[in-house]
Chains A and B, each alone.
Chain A
Amino acid sequence: MSYTDTLFLLIFAAVCIVTWLLRPWPVIKEWFLIGFSLFVIATWGYFDLALFLAVIGVNFFAAFTMSRVRHEKSRYILTAFIIVDLATLATFKYANFIGGNLGAIMGLKIPSFPLGIPLAISFYVFHLISYLVDIHAGRVKVATLREYTFYLSFFPHVIAGPIVRAWQLVPQIGKDRRVATDFAMGFHYLVVGFFLKSVVANNIAMAIDGVWLEPDMTALSTLDHWVVAFLYYCEIYGDFAGYSLMALGMARLLGYRLPVNFRSPMLAASVQEFWRRWHITLSKWLRDYLYIPLGGNRVPPYRSMLNVLITMLLGGLWHGAGWGFVVWGAMHGIGIVGERSLGFRGQRKKSMQWLAWWIVTQIWITIAWVFFRAPNLRAANTFLWHMIPLMDGRPFVVHRTFLMSLVCAIPVILHHCAPYLIRKLERRFLAVALGLSTSVMLVLNFIVFSPTKIFIYFRF
């Protein structure tokens, strides 16, 4: 079941009512939500559910054991179980990628791994690693079975994030913290998220999906290629930010708060700033559990830059088993290293320097998306080749279909401006503005036909 399905939304409304009725009994309410979350996973496949339960079961045992032994011994257990978790991830997600590449290098025919990528494995493995590390570091206490299962399986975040740390969610378990604005804001987030996904991202995808499958890209002009790359940027933002907003909204409607995952990434004037605004929970995870343990900034500059590159490469690979994702990660790593080498420290907004950095950054990021989206490196290279104006006789012609899709991209731009508009708004008008915008988006959600497409990040 996808979160934009009519059936899911109807069931979710019923779940909200049941949890509201169960609020005097938080334990029952949370077991009910655990049951519903497991049901949601099971609709994607029984094997996905079995693997999820097996992995979290093993890690529950690990966390329990770690809490019972001395700190030094706990370190060994931590290492062992992180290896087990990463090995599980590698087996299911990267076996075919590694096997295929090894086979190509060594000229062998390595049989492919028969099972596909299990649902949400990248996300729950990261949740588990952060949980075990935080227990070892004494940042969180060992959760009870209910808290632990709820934290890991809570349906708004289990499939595609946001990546929630135990200290962010576990303290909310067992309490009814719903405040008056939660219902209004939860509903607002849900409607906006649905709008970004269904109306914006799905309709853009409908227009540009074929371009990536089309081997002969010569039919498109240079500007078409730039427009398609930009539209993909808008599509993935609408898709993933939309999903994240829906997750935040659903959690709020049930009385829980999840961390924000996006903060106007198209306004970033550096790649480093982009990662403070895009998939924030992943970039924080990579910073805390990979970059800092590698030495972070407390090492000589060349090592620090190497750490950035390693972190971004692995961050890219986390998204998918393909060279396109590796190149995408590498481009972001090179971007950050380049900024540091050029001494970029974050220019003052509204200055010409800021504008220049913003343009360069956004162009770099748009180009990087080509590697993320293209089916393979060859297709990405061909696409990039056609983005060079000199390679085309009619560089400035734009196909009508893409022009229409640019209309779909307008809400993405507006969504980026929203925080600034809200800041300028007088406080007493805030509720009115949010209420009116929710209404417009709800009506558009109903009226505009949206093709069905699963969330892009559900595949990761």
Chain B
Amino acid sequence: MTSLEDRLRDAYRAVTDTVREDELPGLYGKRARNRRGGRFSAFAPLAAAATVVVAIVAGVAVPKLASSPGRPAHPASSPAVRSAGTGVSKPTASASPVRSAPMATSSASRTAPGASCPTLTVGADGSVAPLFCADGTDNPAALAYYEGGWIKGFTPKVLLLPATASYGQVVSAVCADIFGHGSPMGLQTEQQAYDLAANRAGWRYDINTVNGLSCPAAGTS
């Protein structure tokens, strides 16, 4: 062994000792960098194209939504997980893309903040509970689950939208999430992703994948 090799090991140790185990984020801990901005930029062309489509679609979807059973004014007051349904319609799709659950039901979020909702349960269909904490905020573990791509590595586009997103942009993102090529999002999981995004952003668009949402036939993925 040469002196240089020894010095290399020492130098590596000096660098890596700056990382301590007790400082590491948990598996579901905060993301170290803001991924939302970077990922959203990748979808910018899609969003731009989809906006055109949505301008047409919104005219059809809004009346349907207005007549459907509305969600609570603020989803924070509704921590219950919705039941799955089949209300989403799309001219070219006949089956829901719901896939097998990525995980067995178990306890999670050992490092997630928010003591009022410390346990995340993952259902067989990939949905999670509780979605919201007792104080009405998004359950950090649930948010990390969806944003972190726990469902087949897929981050729902609806969670990448800025708080200023229009109704049309949100509908477009939801449709793209459900019907996009290779998307693993089912009606239930997408509804949850929307609910989290809506709660965080303060949207009151009453989008409900269960009770009916019309999506354009093409151009959303």
- Chains A and B form a bound pair: no
